[in-house]
Amino acid sequence: MCATALSLGVAELVAGLTGPGSSPVIAVGETLIDAAPTPVKDFTVRTLGTGDKPMLVGGILIVLALVSVGAGMIAVRRPVAGDAVVALFGVVGAMCALTRPVARWYDAVPALIGAAAGVIALRLLARAALGGHPRPASARARAGRSDALASPARTHESGLPGRRRFLATSGAAASLALVTGGGGTLLAARSGASDSRAAVRLPRPQSPARPLPAGFRTAVPNMPPFFTPTGDFYRVDTALLVPKVRAADWQLRVHGMVQRELRLSLADLLGRGLTERDVTLSCVSNEVGGPYVGTARWLGVPLAQLLREAGVRAGADQLLSRSVDGMSIGTPVEAVLDGRDALVALAMNGEPLPLAHGFPARLLVPGLYGYASATKWVVDLELTTFAGADAYWVRRGWARNGPVKTASRIDIPRPFSRPRPGPVAVAGVAYAQHRGVAGVEVRIDAGPWTQATLATQVSPDTWRQWSFRWNATPGLHRIEVRATDGAGHLQPQARAQPFPDGSTGWHSTVVTVA
Ligand SMILES: Nc1nc2c(c(=O)[nH]1)N[C@H]1C(S)=C(S)[C@@H](COP(=O)(O)O)O[C@H]1N2
Ligand SMILES: [Mo]
């Protein structure tokens, strides 16, 4: 285990120099994320939520530790076999790093150097375990299998010096693992992306968001704010490590079925006269009543402006966007050009995009789920056709087009809370981006539906808060909600899972009034 730890530490140190994406643990983890079948991914997201990433890394480390124990026991008797196991770790790490979508040839280097360090450490540890001598063949023959596995140090006369030397070598390997691993982490943190973000000066919008109308939020205490604080905004992506892009290294390319190719720097975009809009973003993986939805004030360049400038050629129906970490997302060109506020967003809630939300630029197309529109760390916009290319999630069976389905959620009272009898404030949000929310109804214990009080609509592209005064009687009660969108369509009651095009069903909350 110490040899494996040293191997990982050295690999992290080298990866600190060769750049993100070359860390073998991260590369293996991201390969597993991409390879996970949809039911497995669904299950992990459902049970672990956004804690799935630390769990994945932890799982990889546990598997490595277990295999390492076996390798160590083998290495004492057959050094070459021990080497082979450590080398295999290196090869798997290198292969994963090399097959990432944006891999460079030298991304294999950290895993291979790490494996070499691991082999040397394992040899030294095995020798120390045997008291400094390779185990003589006669002793090997005499000792049964179980003896060799139980305590290699026992082959030495007294046992003590061998054990001491083994512990000292282990300690040295473990310390070196911490130092190299820590050094690698420090190196990786020096990407300069945070400084680059801090240096961005946002201009005032040329087209500001409409002033917030009176009554745009309900007055119910403890109701989540209309604008989701940036720090609370949900995060969904396949990146095990947040891509750290420096504005100076960044460029957005528009190409494919266009009249002329565009290449734009962040300064080019910031200088264009920016558009500010309030938009609710939601994830197709959100369950009924779930948390993967948020509203922010975004600032950016109209995406339609860029496409018109590039000149979309006839027949191009898909805007295939790609990120610096190899994500691909397909958006209907029609949705971008139909007049809605599709943006190359550069800022969120008055600040440059946080690194986790796509610094320096991301897409945003109101009315479409994030997987079909909201590419973070975007670097490449290709005009193409749906017939000609499938985006990342489409290759995994998700729908080509991702219009958001009408949804409503009860935020207050909390599930299983115990309100007092009498008037109880019920409140929540409803959203049907780009169609707007026309009505929200609430019912108690499957009784008659009653209209909730709607907050003023900020925009059809944002969620709408609602509230309902319930005269609660003692006992166990179920509160249900449903919304009607701006087109007059009632939110469907039938429960559907998020796969393949978004969940449906009415949200409900159970409380005990006492
Ligand atoms: N590069 C990249 N962009 C991405 C994703 C991703 O995995 N990688 N996930 C998409 C999905 S599924 C959603 S719901 C939104 C979430 O955006 P947020 O993390 O800023 O809330 O980002 C989208 N953009
Ligand atoms: Mo998503």
Q: What is the pLDDT of residues 237-267, one digit of tens each?
A: 999 989 999 999 999 999 999 999 999 999 9
Looking at residue 150, its pLDDT comes to 44
| 8 Å CB contact between 291 and 332 | no
Closest atom of ligand 1 to CA, residue 363 = 24
Give the C-alpha separation, 481 to 464, whole Å. 13
Which of the two residues, 165 and 430, has the higher pLDDT score?
A: 430
Looking at residue 189, its pLDDT comes to 82
For the Cβ of 325 lying below 6 angstroms from any atom of ligand 1, the answer is yes
Looking at residue 135, its pLDDT comes to 53
The pLDDT-based confidence of 149 (bands split at 50, 70, 90) is very low
- Digit-coded pLDDT (tens) for 30-40: 999 999 988 88
Among 236, 282, 321, 327, residue to substitute to test ligand 1 (most atoms within 8 Å of Cβ): 236
- Ligand 2 center to residue 371 CA distance, Å? 5
Pick the ligand that lies closest to the CA of residue 328: 1
Q: What percentage of the chain reaches a pLDDT higher than 90?
A: 84
For the Cβ of 243 lying below 6 angstroms from any atom of ligand 1, the answer is no
Mean pLDDT of 286-301: 97
- Ligand 2 center to residue 282 CA distance, Å? 7
Mean pLDDT of 300-326: 98
Q: Would the pLDDT of 197 be above 60?
A: yes
* Predicted structure pTM score: 0.91
Pick the ligand that lies closest to the CA of residue 282: 1
Mean pLDDT of 194-218: 97
Give the C-alpha separation, 281 to 434, whole Å. 11
Structure tokens at 337: 């050009």
The pLDDT-based confidence of 129 (bands split at 50, 70, 90) is confident
Give the C-alpha separation, 295 to 301, whole Å. 18
- Digit-coded pLDDT (tens) for 370-396: 999 999 999 999 999 999 999 999 999
For the Cβ of 298 lying below 6 angstroms from any atom of ligand 1, the answer is no
| 8 Å CB contact between 429 and 466 | yes
- Ligand 2 center to residue 43 CA distance, Å? 15
Q: Would the pLDDT of 11 be above 60?
A: yes
- Ligand 1 center to residue 371 CA distance, Å? 6
> Whose Cα sits closest to atom 13 in ligand 1?
370
For the Cβ of 1 lying below 6 angstroms from any atom of ligand 1, the answer is no
For the Cβ of 234 lying below 6 angstroms from any atom of ligand 1, the answer is yes
H-run or E-run covering 180: helix 160-189
The pLDDT-based confidence of 145 (bands split at 50, 70, 90) is very low
> Whose Cα sits closest to atom 19 in ligand 1?
235
Those residues with Cβ within 8 angstroms of residue 395's Cβ, 6 or more apart along the chain or in another chain: none
Closest atom of ligand 1 to CA, residue 243 = 1
Of the listed ranges 36-45, 176-185, 304-313, the one predicted with least confidence: 36-45
Q: Would the pLDDT of 139 be above 70?
A: no
Q: Would the pLDDT of 143 be above 80?
A: no
Average pLDDT score over the chain = 93
Those residues with Cβ within 8 angstroms of residue 481's Cβ, 6 or more apart along the chain or in another chain: 408, 409, 410, 428, 430, 440, 441, 442, 452, 466, 506, 507, 508
- Cα distance from N-terminal residue to C-terminal residue, the chain: 56
Q: Would the pLDDT of 93 be above 80?
A: yes
- Ligand 1 center to residue 370 CA distance, Å? 6
Give residue 371's identity as a one-letter amino acid code. Y
Looking at residue 214, its pLDDT comes to 98
**CA 342, 347, 353: angle at the middle one, nearest 5?**
115
Q: Would the pLDDT of 3 be above 50?
A: yes
Looking at residue 156, its pLDDT comes to 47
- Digit-coded pLDDT (tens) for 436-447: 999 999 999 999
- Digit-coded pLDDT (tens) for 218-236: 999 999 999 999 999 999 9
Looking at residue 41, its pLDDT comes to 82
Give residue 476's identity as a one-letter amino acid code. L
Looking at residue 21, its pLDDT comes to 74
> Whose Cα sits closest to atom 12 in ligand 1?
371
Looking at residue 134, its pLDDT comes to 55
Those residues with Cβ within 8 angstroms of residue 447's Cβ, 6 or more apart along the chain or in another chain: none
- Ligand 2 center to residue 234 CA distance, Å? 10
- Digit-coded pLDDT (tens) for 323-338: 999 999 999 999 999 9
| Dihedral, CA of residue 147, residue 151, residue 157 and residue 163, to nearest 10 | 170
Q: Is the dihedral of CA 31, 32, 33, 36 positive or negative?
A: positive
Q: Would the pLDDT of 154 be above 80?
A: no
Looking at residue 133, its pLDDT comes to 59
Of the listed ranges 61-75, 105-119, 122-136, the one predicted with least confidence: 122-136
**CA 20, 175, 239: angle at the middle one, nearest 5?**
20
3-class secondary structure per residue, 236-261: CCCCCCCCCCCHHHCCEEEEECECCC
- Ligand 2 center to residue 283 CA distance, Å? 4
Ramachandran bin of 251, using left for φ above 0, alpha for ψ from -120 to 50, beta for the remaining angles: beta
- Ligand 2 center to residue 286 CA distance, Å? 8
Mean pLDDT of 56-65: 94
- Ligand 2 center to residue 68 CA distance, Å? 36
| Dihedral, CA of residue 451, residue 453, residue 457 and residue 461, to nearest 10 | -50
> Whose Cα sits closest to atom 20 in ligand 1?
357
Q: Alpha helix locations (H) across 278-388? A: 303-310, 333-337
Give the C-alpha separation, 185 to 112, whole Å. 18
For the Cβ of 349 lying below 6 angstroms from any atom of ligand 1, the answer is no
Among 376, 377, 394, residue to substitute to test ligand 1 (most atoms within 8 Å of Cβ): 376
For the Cβ of 375 lying below 6 angstroms from any atom of ligand 1, the answer is yes
Give the C-alpha separation, 268 to 249, whole Å. 13
Cα–Cα nearest to 11, from 214, 190, 245, 176 = 176
Among 235, 237, 349, residue to substitute to test ligand 1 (most atoms within 8 Å of Cβ): 237
For the Cβ of 233 lying below 6 angstroms from any atom of ligand 1, the answer is yes
Looking at residue 22, its pLDDT comes to 87
- Digit-coded pLDDT (tens) for 414-462: 998 999 999 999 999 999 999 999 999 999 999 999 999 999 999 999 9
Q: How many CA atoms lie within 13 A of 80 on its CB side?
A: 0
How many Cβ atoms sit within 10 Å of the Cβ of residue 162? Answer: 23
Looking at residue 416, its pLDDT comes to 87
For the Cβ of 166 lying below 6 angstroms from any atom of ligand 1, the answer is no
Q: Would the pLDDT of 152 be above 50?
A: no
Which of the two residues, 148 and 316, has the higher pLDDT score?
A: 316
Q: What is each CA distance from 514 to 413, 414, 420, in whole angstroms?
A: 14, 15, 5
> Whose Cα sits closest to atom 1 in ligand 1?
376
- Ligand 2 center to residue 285 CA distance, Å? 6
Looking at residue 155, its pLDDT comes to 46
Looking at residue 52, its pLDDT comes to 86
E strands within 387-452?
407-412, 422-431, 437-444, 450-451
